[in-house]
Amino acid sequence: MIRIFAATIATLLLALPVQAFETQARAAYVIDQTTGTVLLTKNADEPLPPASMSKLMTLYMAFEAIERGKSNGGLDLTEELPVSQHAMSYGGSTMFLDTTDRVKVEDLLRGIIVLSGNDACAVIAEALSPDGSEAGFARLMTQRAQQMGMTNSTFANSNGWPAAGHRMSLRDLGLLATRLIEDYPQYYPMFSQREFLFDGRAPQNKTNRNPLLGLGIGAEGLKTGHTSEAGYGLVGSAKQGDRRIVFVLSGLDSAEARAQESESIVNWAFRQFSQRSMGKAGTMIAEAPVALGAQGAVGLELESDLSVLVPVSGGSDVSAEVVYTGPLRAPITKGQTVGELVLTRGDLPEVRAPLVAKDSVAAGGFMVKLEAAARHLLTRLNEGPEAAS
């Protein structure tokens, strides 16, 4: 393994460690979604009661069902769903549905996102459940979460109502929020809707509880949560310029503390870090020797555009190295992955970007192999009789 210090890149990356954010939350997770950089973790992999934040999983599966279409066992936005006695029985935050209602899927989605409707979740769950029950849908939620890589999530219901075994880690919630944003951008604007007055029947529950919406800091969503066991939490996202962050907080002791902590984290994430472009796809980073090739070396270039997050102030340089196993052996195909650019940024996670061959290098002919063999023999002879033998 050969490591080459890439001075030309490192000079662009002068940056310093940032002061860590001291959160009052029991658990926290903050990620810069644009670059994939994790900025903060605190008990992020501990399965905790997620309260209404787990409604995001019901929403994700509802969006999947809408994309699948009614003819394939999914949903249609204009489809009207019945309300069961079980769905109607939920207390807490609701749309005040009753068994005489048939509610459009789109209204149910807004009822979940804006009003945090426990009853709306149950209606969606029973429609999509393999056995028509909310419990059956909860089992499906757990299976789908595992498939998506949310390994610390298990569900007992569709809405986060306190129940034994209903748990999610904050890292899982961050992953889920990111998937919602990336997989279903057509529905994502719903999360920034500040009011929804369904059928005029619940004026006391018409306002989105997300405390960051309307503050002018780029907040876009996603979901608050609160129970006595879980405390106050928020899965949030905010976008400023080309950057978006996703953060999850849990275990705060009041709605006011949740609002203050959330705003502080957003300001910290955007003010203490900046995004830097390290080069476009095709930027040549280094050159590596090639063994037994028609050419003796090949350029190494970025496979794709490379943008990284760096602290804006602090105390140590960020370094860059080119890493590959060399010399590279011919034949080499243009675009073949042959190495990595490794960026080290103080306390931030290491960044590893693939490097590909700038050009194709054919295998050398007989004379190239003969010359290589001769050079190898001369080297051994110069090392002494024992090496030559």
Spell out the domain ranges in the chain: 2-13+280-382, 27-271
Alpha carbon distances (Å) from 314 to 35, 42, 151, 194, 343 = 20, 22, 35, 38, 17
Candidates 121, 83, 111, 122; CA nearest to 99 is 83
- Segment 119-140, tens digit of pLDDT: 999 999 999 999 999 999 999 9
Amino acid at 22: E
Amino acid at 207: T
**Of 7-21, 67-81, 195-209, which range is least confident?**
7-21
The residue annotated as part of the active site, out of 42, 54, 55, 158, is 55
250 is catalytic: no
- Residue found by looking up tokens 């800091």 in the block: 217
Q: Look up the CATH superfamily of 27-271.
A: DD-peptidase/beta-lactamase superfamily (3.40.710.10)
Band the pLDDT of 344: cuts 50, 70, 90.
confident
Q: What's the CA gap between 72 and 68, in Å, rounded?
A: 6
Please check whether residue 195 is in contact with residue 208, taking contact to mean a CB–CB distance below 8 angstroms.
yes
Contacts of 292 by beta carbon, 8 Å cutoff, 6+ apart: 329, 330, 363, 364, 368, 369, 372
- The pLDDT, as a whole number, for residue 368 is 46
- The pLDDT, as a whole number, for residue 312 is 82
Asked if the model's pLDDT at residue 70 lies above 70, the reply is: yes
70 is catalytic: no
- Residue found by looking up tokens 């249609």 in the block: 76
Q: What's the CA gap between 43 and 25, in Å, rounded?
A: 10
Please check whether residue 156 is in contact with residue 164, taking contact to mean a CB–CB distance below 8 angstroms.
yes
52 is catalytic: yes
Q: Look up the CATH superfamily of 2-13+280-382.
A: D-Ala-D-Ala carboxypeptidase, C-terminal domain (2.60.410.10)
Q: What's the CA gap between 255 and 249, in Å, rounded?
A: 12
The residue annotated as part of the active site, out of 42, 52, 262, 358, is 52
Rounded to two decimals, the pTM is 0.83
- The pLDDT, as a whole number, for residue 15 is 35
- Segment 203-248, tens digit of pLDDT: 778 999 999 999 999 999 999 999 999 999 999 999 999 999 999 9
Please check whether residue 122 is in contact with residue 90, taking contact to mean a CB–CB distance below 8 angstroms.
yes
- Segment 50-64, tens digit of pLDDT: 999 999 999 999 999
Q: What percent of the chain has pLDDT over 70?
A: 87
Q: For all residues of the chain together, what is the average pLDDT? A: 89
Candidates 243, 245, 225; CA nearest to 30 is 245
- Segment 313-334, tens digit of pLDDT: 754 456 889 999 978 999 999 9
The residue annotated as part of the active site, out of 54, 84, 93, 116, is 116
What is the per-residue DSSP string for 265-328? HHHHHHHSEEEEEEE-TT-EEEEEEEETBSSSEEEEEESS-EEEEEESSSS---EEEEEE-SSE
- Segment 277-326, tens digit of pLDDT: 889 999 999 999 999 899 999 999 999 999 888 888 754 456 889 999 97
- The pLDDT, as a whole number, for residue 277 is 86
What is the per-residue DSSP string for 332-361? B-TT-EEEEEEEEETTEEEEEEEEEESS-B
